[in-house]
A and B are shown apart, each in its own frame.
Chain A
Amino acid sequence: MVNKSLFYIGTLSLLLLSSCGKNTVDSYEDYLLWLDDTENGLVRDKEAGGITIKVKQLPSNYLAYQDLINEKSIKKSIVDSIIGSYEKSLTFLLTIGVDGDVKKGDIMFQGVRTYKEYKQQLMELNFGIENNISLSIGGNMYNPVLSHLENVYGLTDKRNITVVFVPATKEDKLFYLAEEIQFTYDDELFDTGINHFTFNREDINNNPSFKFWN
């Protein structure tokens, strides 16, 4: 009798646990909405002196989808392999712009008076910004292994910079397990000072999987 009860309780617990697992989304549009919802913890933003700074953690399945977006037929093994390779790193999208109230116009022209200064700013955003970005995980400090300024051809007033971090060594388990991840941008270009953005591992691991991919 007791054994039977234990069996039912166990089965019920398993069912409950499985229902608490990963959520799924039906379309890519839904996924983007989920990703941009600040409640889901993958987007953090700050504002100072009319400059807005937004940091978004880009999940591995999102990055994999970007890679495969134009493929007509995708094998699950390929999808899994690409997601697996992205899971070895942490990717963030840093967006710098103006609030449109205190400051207006293209971010590239903020604080710039001459063409020389504009060129200097462009060089800094392209090649020097990685020196001002770091990640702190479980007391360890990580510098980006890759930073890329998106070329927008003047179509938007803000700029996106993709930043990638990897663990220091293969044995560095904290990189994958520590609960809190702090992204720091020490802004030396737009006078917003040092900016910290804290992400929780739970939120990062909780991103929905693509139902439409299966």
Chain B
Amino acid sequence: MKKNVIIVLLVVGVTANLVLNLLDRKYEKKLGYVRSQDLVYAFDGMKEMQLKFQEQSKVWEANMDTLKMEYQRSLSEYQGVMAQLTTEEKITREQLLYAQKNNILQYSENIQLKSKEEEDKMLEGVLNQVNSFVEEYGKDNNYDLILGTTLAGSILYGEEAIDITQELIVEINNNYNGK
């Protein structure tokens, strides 16, 4: 009789342990975190975007240099003939030089604005790609939550084992390059 009670108790104990383990596993959440800045800067899409932006900036700089050179040439030319000009002619030439200088300043301001606009637009494309990929990666790999470290310090500590930055970099670059 006593033996039977012990067996029943053992069976109940083992079953309870199994059920508790299963429940624990069911409610165990899969978490990971990403060093956002490292991911974005190691992303091939970001590197390609930066190259594209540099190429575009070179064109703007070349245009700026041309405008400056033209202004310098006009100024030197004016300085060379200034002594032979009448007061009226001097005023006209100086007004032209002034307008030319203003054009340079205006162009410089415009390209600064345009440059900022283009950079923001390109960056938005890159961030959209990164965000969409992380979401897809999370779903495919059954993550419940993927956190991202930011400079603002929203994550103060994360165990290295759940840092998925490196594998995400490899995966996102393969995806970006169409592999």
Give CA–CA (A98, B45) in the complex, Å: 21
Q: How large is the interface on B (under 10, 10 to 19, 20 to 34, 35 or more residues)?
A: 20 to 34
Q: Please indicate the chain B residues that have their CB under 8 angstroms from the CB of A192 in the complex.
A: 125, 128-129
CB-contact partner of A193 in B122, B136, B177, under 8 A: B122
Residues 121-177 of B contacting A (Cβ, < 8 Å): 121-122, 124-126, 128-129, 131-133, 136, 175-177
Q: Closest approach, in angstroms, between the C-beta of B40 and any C-beta of chain A?
A: 12
Check A37 for interface membership: any CB of B closer than 8 A.
Answer: no
B178 near A194 (CB under 8 angstroms)?
no
B124 near A191 (CB under 8 angstroms)?
yes
Q: Digit string of A183-194 for contact with B (CB within 8 Å is 1, else 0)?
A: 100111001111
Which of A44-52, A62-70, A89-97 contacts the other chain? Answer: A44-52
* Known A47-B132, A48-B129: A193·B49 in contact at CB below 8 Å: yes
Give CA–CA (A188, B131) in the complex, Å: 18
A194 near B49 (CB under 8 angstroms)?
yes
Q: How large is the interface on A (under 10, 10 to 19, 20 to 34, 35 or more residues)?
A: 10 to 19
Q: Please indicate the chain B residues that have their CB under 8 angstroms from the CB of A195 in the complex.
A: 129
Q: Please indicate the chain B residues that have their CB under 8 angstroms from the CB of A44 in the complex.
A: 178
B178 near A193 (CB under 8 angstroms)?
no
Give CA–CA (A64, B131) in the complex, Å: 40
Give CA–CA (A197, B131) in the complex, Å: 19
Give CA–CA (A183, B177) in the complex, Å: 10
Q: Closest approach, in angstroms, between the C-beta of B176 and any C-beta of chain A?
A: 6
Give CA–CA (A210, B176) in the complex, Å: 34
Q: Closest approach, in angstroms, between the C-beta of B155 and any C-beta of chain A?
A: 24
Q: Please indicate the chain B residues that have their CB under 8 angstroms from the CB of A198 in the complex.
A: 177-179
Q: Digit string of A174-190 for contact with B (CB within 8 Å is 1, else 0)?
A: 00000000110011100
Which among A46, A186, A191 has the greatest number of chain B C-beta atoms within 10 A?
A191
Check B52 for interface membership: any CB of A closer than 8 A.
Answer: yes
B52 near A196 (CB under 8 angstroms)?
no
Q: Please indicate the chain B residues that have their CB under 8 angstroms from the CB of A194 in the complex.
A: 45, 48-49, 52, 125
Q: Please indicate the chain B residues that have their CB under 8 angstroms from the CB of A47 in the complex.
A: 132, 136
Q: Digit string of B93-133 for contact with A (CB within 8 Å is 1, else 0)?
A: 00000000000000000000000000001101110110111
Give CA–CA (A195, B133) in the complex, Å: 13
Residues 23-49 of B contacting A (Cβ, < 8 Å): 45, 48-49
Give CA–CA (A66, B49) in the complex, Å: 38
B178 near A197 (CB under 8 angstroms)?
yes
- Closest B residue by C-beta to A196: B178
- Closest B residue by C-beta to A194: B48
Q: Please indicate the chain B residues that have their CB under 8 angstroms from the CB of A46 in the complex.
A: 129, 175
In addition to A49-B124, A195-B129, 9 A-B residue pairs with Cβ atoms within 8 Å of each other are: A46-B129, A49-B131, A49-B132, A191-B121, A191-B125, A193-B49, A194-B48, A194-B49, A198-B178
**Residues of B at under 8 Å CB distance from A?**
45, 48-49, 52, 121-122, 124-126, 128-129, 131-133, 136, 175-179
Nearest first, the 5 A-B pairs at minimum CB distance are A193-B125, A198-B178, A49-B128, A48-B128, A48-B129
A-B contact pairs, 10 of them (CB 8 A): A46-B175, A47-B132, A48-B133, A49-B124, A182-B178, A183-B178, A187-B125, A191-B124, A197-B178, A198-B179
